Structure 1
Amino acid sequence: MRKIGIKIVSFYVLIFFVASSCVGTKINKNKVIVSNVPSKTNLDSIKSSNIPTLFELSPQGNKWVDSVYNAMTLEEKFGQLFMVAAYSNKDTVHFNAIDKLIQENKIGGLIFFQGVPVRQVKLTNRFQSKSKIPLFIGSDAEWGLGMRLDSTYRYPWNMTLGAIQDMKLLEKVGVQMGEQSKRLGLQFNFAPVLDINTNPRNPIIGFRSFGEDKFKVTERAIALMKGVQSEGIFSTGKHFPGHGDTETDSHKGLPTINFSKERLSDVEFYPYKKMFHEGLSSVMVAHLNVPSLEPRPNYPSSISYNVVTNILQKELGFKGLIFTDALNMKSVSTFKLPSEINFEAFMAGNDVLLFPEDVPAAIEKFQLAYSLNLFTDERLAFSVKKILKFKYKAGLNSFKPIITENLYNDLNSSENDALHYELYENAITVLKNTAAVLPIKNLDKQKIAYVKIGDDNNDAFVATLKKYAEITVIEDTNLDSLQVKLLPFTTVIIGYHKSDIAFRNDDLKSDELFKINFLAKNNNVILDVFAKPYSLLPITNFDDFEGLVVSYQNSTIAQIVSAELIFGAIEAKGKLPVSINTSFKVNDGLATEKLNRLGFTTPENVGMNAEILSKIDGIANKAINGKMTPGIQVLVARKGKVIYQKSFGHHTYDKMIKVQDSDIYDVASLTKILATLPNVMLQYDQKKINLETTLGTMSSIFKDSNKANINFKDLLSHYAGLAAGIPFYKATMDKSKFPSEVYFRKTSEDQFSKRMTDSLFIRNDFSDTIMKMIVKSKLSLKKEYKYSDLTFMILKDYLEKTTGQKLDVLIQENFYRSLGMNNSSFNPLSKFDKNRIPPTETDTYFRHQLLQGYVNDLSAALEGGVSGHAGVFSNAMDVAKIMQLYLQKGKYGNQQYFSEKTFEDFNTCYFCAAGNRRGVGFDKPQLGAEGPTCGCASMTSFGHTGYTGTMAWADPETQIVYVFLSNRTFPIAGENRLSKENIREDIQKVIYEAITD
């Protein structure tokens, strides 16, 4: 009797529930027919709309749908309506509960939330195996699978994509999202968001929207949808009828939209109308209070027949699947009992009930309603057959388990980062650029400081800025003392860094706002905002800012690309997707100049294969593990972009200090082309010398020598018959084979100020002695190729006497400062921390100490560490800059250092026919079996190698720059195994193998 009584009560509750919630209920003695449920006539009217027929199946598909539907029990039909929440990060209790819903309640699908990909795939296979009819698997992946899953990719937010003007890029995002969704076993991605975010204070949409302009939102949503659906994944437009102008989070309460239907039709509905014609598969209906569409007060749109059926299906003609928004959200879950909400959502015209609560109770409600004829078989068939139709279109009629092998790599391929770089290169937006402060030019005249504001990481931004120029990071909590520290600087870059964890508030705090305004008023400021554009709303006056950059998010790639833009490696292309008060409007965005500076990207973006390139790691580690060198830096650039930069090993074999990209190596003979040659090329470019100029003309000390008639071309081609070298140090040793007091002091004195070690100073005039010894040295009787350090020692003497400046000063003033080679120097201990300099050797034959920060080459040491053939210390990034300068035939940044003709003259092999591979100062690829390269570089390529285990090479034909630095001479410069085992050459070979175009 108790059970009967409960059913009687349920009956009257249900009759009241339906009668009160449905408009125009008609009751006859045979059936209770609810007039707002689609009748046969209503269904016909939907089919006759002017939307193209995009969801029709083949006869075979229709046959499958009909056969499956006809074989289903009533309970199985009800079950198909429910798409239940699943988590791969929960325990077996949760998994077993899902099993039970599948097996007992015959649910139709799962929406996965938090977890990890391999576990989710295993669970998908498990759950699919337990379901008689394959399940829909969906996920909210608005910015990629990373929105829900660990170890998966996160694309930029929609608002970031909203700044991009190239729709092909957004379609590529959709394609990649679709590929990853398919690989994970999904059929639905509940995206894109179609909300027009016209309310900057919207707490739940905001950055999830493409912007506030309906046309731009639509254009981008279509591009993304096309990409996703091209991979066989269904897109879901949301949140109908429009969640963009709300100030309530629908997860916590019911937002109200107080617009007229005409306004909604013109703005909020606009993307849906367009996307229906483009083939949008499904729509998600929001939980909103929209009085102009639903007269019942505070009645959620997701359960409104007028919204879901009359407007969405009849007026707008949508024929795809209709999902409710999650039915556990407070905006609807507190409205009625879960079972009642599910039923009302179905009665309103929704096909799939998403994230329902208490499915067994809901199905019981459906059974009771059906037994009371509260809805027709036709209504049930309308949704269930549509669901089956989409399952067939998704290939679920022949479901195969998802393979877990290689899943992580498939979901995180290098193509993801490649596209990510392209997206930020096109999104980052410049809103102010007073006096063309961006990009920063004339680095030799700049003194730049960086100040951080915000509580998130800024490492990639600062590190990349420092790859372009010397950047001083200034920190001080006291504004007055901070300002004092900033006085010497010409430019202050302020980085506003806020976490891009979803839904976190990144608005400027009052103290942050005050600090920014204060610094802008008192300095030349470039403000770079790594947060959504709305974070700028509290700033009411932008007049004090010289530069304003919106980088949108604080991801690593966003930071790298933004630094590139500041220094001109890329130009600004982005346009603002939303308004910032009255200061900036939608579509604002300034173009900036692109300079010829090295940038950064992934191998794929310059026609290289990242997987092949990764083989460099193995070769480098082979060298380190084989104790050919304790540490290595490798850099590869192509087409003006650094695509590979890694450091391996340690400074020494005790493994105390790991090699960093910023560490500075003794580059040995690379000095020839990094310091001496560029200055010689300037002399040549200014026509002070030419290829036929003789040594006797260039320098008076050679006028009456046996070298007087050696011409410039022969000299630089190592074709002049000079000795390979001279042991200058022997002249400075006493009878005990120790440094003589005639030439050395242990402390610095007026005439002994050239430092060789911490406690060894050589006579200032010993360089003159060196030159006299070179003048008197013998020449080869036979004209043949012989590599000689003397060539560049002669050129150093020539440059210093001609210009009146020392070589270390010349190279800084003429090249390094303006190139931004702020990690390059002779005698680095005067400028850099010793811990940044890997030691090169323990000198047991002259200086009798560990050489760290002092040049390894003894002849260069005898010149006080500054010689034409050795003495420069640098890192791979700086070396790459000057190699790129050569590759660009004298141009870098905003400066033409020397003419293209000058470069071509120096990069010519004049004596190749005679078996001499050398250019004018440059080394060139091998002739026959002998040479410095892998044998795969073009004959137009050029570069040099160094004794300490270094190599710098550039190839005009492939546009590749390759830099290898090491301290292979540590601890003792014995057998050169690094060279014998072709480590540098094998890495170069991999680089060329990685070229795809």
Structure 2
Amino acid sequence: MFKKFLFLIILLNGVFLKAQNVDPLKTLDSIAQTQWVNSIIDSMTVEEKIGQLFMVAAYSNKDVVHEKFIENLIKKYHIGALIFFQDQPLKQAKLTNKYQALSKYPLLVGIDGEWGLNMRLKSTFRFPWNMTLGAVQNNSLITDFGVQVAKHCNRMGIHMNFAPVVDVNINPNNPIIGNRSFGENPENVAQKSIAFSKGLQSLNVLASAKHFPGHGDTETDSHLALPVIDFTKERLDSVELYPFKQIINEGVAGIMVAHLCVPNLEPNKALPSSLSKPIVTGLLQQELGFNGLVITDAMNMKASANFSSSQEINLAAILAGNDLLDVPLNIPETVERFKKALASGELTEERLNHSVRKILKTKYWAGLNNYKPIEIEHLIEDLNTVEDELLHRELVENSITLLKNEEVIFPVQNLDKKKIAYVKLGDADNDSFVTMLNNYEKVDVVTATNLDELIVKLEPYNLVIVGFHKSNKNPWKNYKFKDRDLVWLQEIARSNNIILDVFASPYSLLQIKTFENIEGLVVSYQNSKVSQEISAQMIFGAVEAKGKLPVSIKKSFSEGHGLTSLSLNRLGYSIPEDVGLSSEKLKRIDSIANIVLKDEMAPGLQVLVARKGKVVYNKSFGYHTLEKKTLVKNSDVYDIASLTKILASLPLIMELEEQETISLESTIGQLLPKFKNTNKDTLTVKEVLSHYGRLHAWIPFYIHTLDSISKKPSHEYYSEQRSKNYALKVADHLYLRSDYKDTILNIIAKEDQRKKIGYKYSDLSYYIFKDYLEGYYKKDLAKLTESHFYKSLGANRTTYLPLNKFAKSEIVPTEKDDYYRFQLVHGYVHDMGAAMQGGIGGHAGLFSNANDIAKIMQMYLQKGYYGGKRYFQPKTIDKFNHRYYAENKVRKGVGFDKPQIKEKEKATCGCVSDSSFGHSGFTGTYTWADPESEIVYVFLSNRIFPTASNMGLVRKNIRTDIQQFIQDAIIEE
């Protein structure tokens, strides 16, 4: 027993000695560092030495009077450091250069950058708050965060960051720490703080851990009064001091001492900890062995300023053992007070030199022995990089925490069985959340003036997503529910299946009396745009939940609690670099889109690019028409023409082939008796879908229905009114005879075959398959595709007959028809043959937007799996995505278009793999997916506006040129 105890004593002493021996300010070239420090301190006057102790508050948003004030302090009082506050980085950089040039000795520049420079400076990058980061389980990401902040500091000529906050936030009512803390677990706080500090110091930015000895369990703001931390030494050791011990052992270079009343460490209850020698020297430096730079918290804070006069508390802070005074007041009076103290022996020159030497060591450590002015050019761009955005997204994704998931309500599955509403609580912005939710499924925003009205409005829905949104301006903003919101939440939960998503501090959950009726509970921590977007993606299974709760919520949820969620392999949404594409190179798409608009190749367009399952470019350009009245939005739907073949007919055919209802060798005569004993009888599914069946390209059926004299729709075939006999709506006030669908098939059956064997693109087989599919299922293609695919895929913007579903303002017009319908074709299919089938064709008739098409193409790319559902077996996808007649120079797969074989063909850019597939459409549409590069590309336009003779888009190869741009944007790994 004694041996074990002796071993423990030796072990603890070893840890203590490690701390004692650590000199975090010592550089690798310590001899040169010592020589530099000695050369300066030996030449300094007493006034210059005293000046080194002051870190003065400087502002970039104040007038010339303030600048003169700082200049005077530098020149007359030789201040050694500046801490910058608000507001603009360009102004601060210029002032830093100016002040450094005035100073005899290089100035140490600091900032409060707990969540990056944005804490103090506008137009800089904002990372998440510590409470958010406390939920992240991968601490290497926290180190990366420190590195990025350090890069920004280096770029701004900043040498010291007053971070991390090492306070263990035990008290939910803490008014000043709260979201600034990594949480309530001392070990988690310690490890996060160490990781962040190492990131900062890896680039020679001094980390200054705060607020020693621990500000986490108080209900008083030290800016306003002196908080009391009245705990036993044992409690302080195990909670407040624990992370400080750990971070000291790991080499943190700076510690900031708080203004606190800690009776068990300092008997004088009126004396702030920052002025207490037992705390600053006895505990921090002697007991914990900290040899780095000791900095006071701001000396203008009421917790210290109320104690005595400025000059007296400044002196007391140095005598207590601090090295650097942060935001000291009344510097001229303080200098005189220090001189008197030196003369009387109250302050010894040895004590003064001790701190000055550490300050100079810090300056050498930070590289100020080789000072260079800040370069102003490209400053803002360098402070807001793609790397910052990538890391921000990764931090948010790793923080969002799933606390409750009854009946696996999260992520949302089986969209075909869901009707979803969204209700907003709180008083902050929610636009990004709602927009992202609607990328996955139609989510209706439901509002009401009173609770009874709201409950009635929610009755048709079987899932309600409740978002609680509070201000993201700063971590001190009120995060609490209003009483009304709490009542509404409980009533909504009592009557509905709900997912509650909290975009605020997890402490807000303390107000919720019971979680019994809340099936799904998510904490997203902050109400930033990125948090809203990623949380919405998580709800629909594009992103997995990984975070763990950094604080406890009464007995309901313990600290460290967090559920994992399923990945449903739905499309995510991110930035290009996240998937190995260059944002800069993708901007070429913008340029070519503007050329399309300028040269009137099309009035407007949509372009989408996804890679590795994430949409990274989704933009709309131009207007619905050349009149430029209605801007194109991402949600607007286009007539996608022949893309209908692979997005509507083909998946239904693939489904039946997989079920062995048909095969690729099935003949047309076997499928449809009306083609028996015709020249189409023995054509196989494989042949006609590969466009190798000797079918003619198309038949202008509509011409036979025009009056021979007027060349307008004949009254023999058309009526201006719908009736039983005229039920096929072709356009506004134009109805075709109901029996003409059979006439079309009879014409196809009797049509001669092409004599020449070989490839010929043809629409005709899709008329045949439409008839077969609708006959087999006893439903039209519109209902079949909706029920079999679109609803469960979340393709709620994809439909036939769009006027039945969307407002006309959401549908892009196609052509000013002066040869058949003699009107603007708007909301009706442009293809004449499909129009003559009532708008529902196997080869055309579908309307969609780029986002929905990407979902279907991604499902194909994922070998038939999407959104938690398997639509096809991988072998089925492979079977249809295969050239069966390649030896005859036929590039087509079965239904899918494939890259060109012949040199003259322009199916693609020539830069995609042979395994890639897609299709193009007459109206100016195109989509392509490449399994090798994992890229999905969608291009939609109405290039046939005002007429189909508008061929610029085709002649200029715009669609495939963009495809080349996308390929060129791949970043070599």
For Structure 1 versus Structure 2, the TM-score category normalised by the shorter chain is: over 0.9
User: Which one of 297, 303, 326 corresponds to residue 354 of structure 1?
Assistant: 326
Matched, 1:676 2:649: yes
Distance 2:84 2:524 in 1: 31
User: Which one of 638, 642, 662 corresponds to residue 665 of structure 1?
Assistant: 638
Q: Aligned residue for 1:974?
A: 949
Shift of 1:47: 9.8
Distance 2:747 2:121 in 1: 71
- The superposition leaves residues 441-483 of structure 1 with CA deviations (integer Å, 9 ceiling, x where unpaired) of 1110111111001111111111111111111110002100110
What amino acid does structure 2 have at the position aligned with 1:52?
V
Q: 1:904–1:407: structure 2 CA closer, same or farther, 3 Å change rule? A: same
Matched, 1:784 2:758: yes
Q: Aligned residue for 1:868?
A: 842
Q: RMSD value over aligned CA atoms?
A: 1.3
DSSP 3-state at the match of 1:690:
coil
Structure 1 runs of 4+ off > 6 angstroms? none
Shift of 1:537: 0.7
DSSP 3-state at the match of 2:466:
strand
Shift of 1:368: 2.0
Q: Aligned residue for 2:929?
A: 954
Q: Aligned residue for 2:506?
A: 533
Q: Aligned residue for 2:560?
A: 587
Q: Aligned residue for 2:432?
A: 460
Q: Aligned residue for 1:559?
A: 532
Shift of 1:622: 2.0
What amino acid does structure 2 have at the position aligned with 1:290?
V
CA contact (8 A) 1:454 1:498 kept: yes
Report the more deviating stretch, 179-188 or 87-96.
87-96
Distance 1:764 1:566 in 2: 46
Distance 1:360 1:848 in 2: 88
Distance 1:72 1:964 in 2: 70
Q: Aligned residue for 2:24?
A: 54
User: Which one of 437, 448, 454 corresponds to residue 482 of structure 1?
Assistant: 454
What amino acid does structure 2 have at the position aligned with 1:576?
L
DSSP 3-state at the match of 1:127:
helix
Shift of 1:928: 3.9
What amino acid does structure 2 have at the position aligned with 1:540?
K
DSSP 3-state at the match of 2:642:
helix
Distance 2:756 2:743 in 1: 27
What amino acid does structure 2 have at the position aligned with 1:885?
M
DSSP 3-state at the match of 1:50:
helix
What amino acid does structure 1 have at the position aligned with 2:631?
K
What amino acid does structure 2 have at the position aligned with 1:853?
G
Gaps of 5+ in 2: 1-15
User: Which one of 308, 311, 328 corresponds to residue 336 of structure 1?
Assistant: 308
Q: Aligned residue for 1:71?
A: 43
User: Which one of 698, 716, 721 corresponds to residue 694 of structure 2?
Assistant: 721
Distance 2:707 2:954 in 1: 35
Distance 2:224 2:736 in 1: 78
DSSP 3-state at the match of 1:668:
coil
- The superposition leaves residues 868-898 of structure 1 with CA deviations (integer Å, 9 ceiling, x where unpaired) of 1111111111000000010011111121111
User: Which one of 767, 772, 778 corresponds to residue 793 of structure 1?
Assistant: 767
User: Which one of 406, 410, 414 corresponds to residue 378 of structure 2?
Assistant: 406
Over the matched positions of the two proteins, sequence identity in percent amounts to: 53
Q: Aligned residue for 1:622?
A: 595
What amino acid does structure 2 have at the position aligned with 1:238?
K
DSSP 3-state at the match of 1:563:
helix
Shift of 1:613: 2.1
Distance 1:144 1:723 in 2: 65
- The superposition leaves residues 771-818 of structure 1 with CA deviations (integer Å, 9 ceiling, x where unpaired) of 111111121111111111112222111111122110111000000000
DSSP 3-state at the match of 1:451:
strand
Q: 1:98–1:654: structure 2 CA closer, same or farther, 3 Å change rule? A: farther
User: Which one of 173, 182, 194 corresponds to residue 222 of structure 1?
Assistant: 194
Q: 1:925–1:542: structure 2 CA closer, same or farther, 3 Å change rule? A: same
Matched, 1:437 2:409: yes
Distance 1:931 1:394 in 2: 59
Shift of 1:604: 2.0
DSSP 3-state at the match of 2:511:
coil
Q: Please list, as runs of the form range in 1=range in 2, the aligned pairs for 1:306-385 lying within 5 A after superposition.
A: 306-385=278-357
Q: Please list, as runs of the form range in 1=range in 2, the aligned pairs for 1:878-897 lying within 5 A after superposition.
A: 878-897=852-871
Matched, 1:131 2:106: no
Q: Aligned residue for 2:738?
A: 764
CA contact (8 A) 2:22 2:291 kept: no
What amino acid does structure 1 have at the position aligned with 2:950?
E
User: Which one of 68, 83, 87 corresponds to residue 96 of structure 1?
Assistant: 68
- The superposition leaves residues 613-659 of structure 1 with CA deviations (integer Å, 9 ceiling, x where unpaired) of 22222222222222211212111111111111111222223322222
DSSP 3-state at the match of 2:541:
coil
CA contact (8 A) 1:49 1:314 kept: no
Q: Aligned residue for 2:577?
A: 604
CA contact (8 A) 1:421 1:602 kept: no
CA contact (8 A) 1:202 1:247 kept: yes
Distance 1:403 1:210 in 2: 34
CA contact (8 A) 1:596 1:892 kept: yes
- The superposition leaves residues 704-723 of structure 1 with CA deviations (integer Å, 9 ceiling, x where unpaired) of 11111111111011111111
Q: Aligned residue for 1:933?
A: 908
CA contact (8 A) 1:51 1:276 kept: no
Gaps of 5+ in 1: 1-45
Q: 1:743–1:51: structure 2 CA closer, same or farther, 3 Å change rule? A: farther
Matched, 1:985 2:960: yes
Q: Please list, as runs of the form range in 1=range in 2, the aligned pairs for 1:460-859 lying within 5 A after superposition.
A: 460-502=432-474, 503-735=476-708, 736-859=710-833
- The superposition leaves residues 658-691 of structure 1 with CA deviations (integer Å, 9 ceiling, x where unpaired) of 2211111111111111111111110111111112
Shift of 1:48: 9.3
TM-score in terms of structure 1 length = 0.94
CA contact (8 A) 1:907 1:942 kept: yes
Matched, 1:85 2:60: no
Shift of 1:49: 5.7
Size of the aligned set, in residue pairs, is 952
- The superposition leaves residues 940-978 of structure 1 with CA deviations (integer Å, 9 ceiling, x where unpaired) of 000011111111110111111111111111222223211
Distance 1:607 1:959 in 2: 11
DSSP 3-state at the match of 1:756:
strand
What amino acid does structure 2 have at the position aligned with 1:694?
T
Q: Aligned residue for 1:900?
A: 874
- The superposition leaves residues 240-284 of structure 1 with CA deviations (integer Å, 9 ceiling, x where unpaired) of 000000101111111110111221122111111111121101011
CA contact (8 A) 1:51 1:277 kept: no
Q: 1:314–1:749: structure 2 CA closer, same or farther, 3 Å change rule? A: same
CA contact (8 A) 1:218 1:275 kept: yes
What amino acid does structure 2 have at the position aligned with 1:868?
G
Q: Aligned residue for 1:29?
A: none
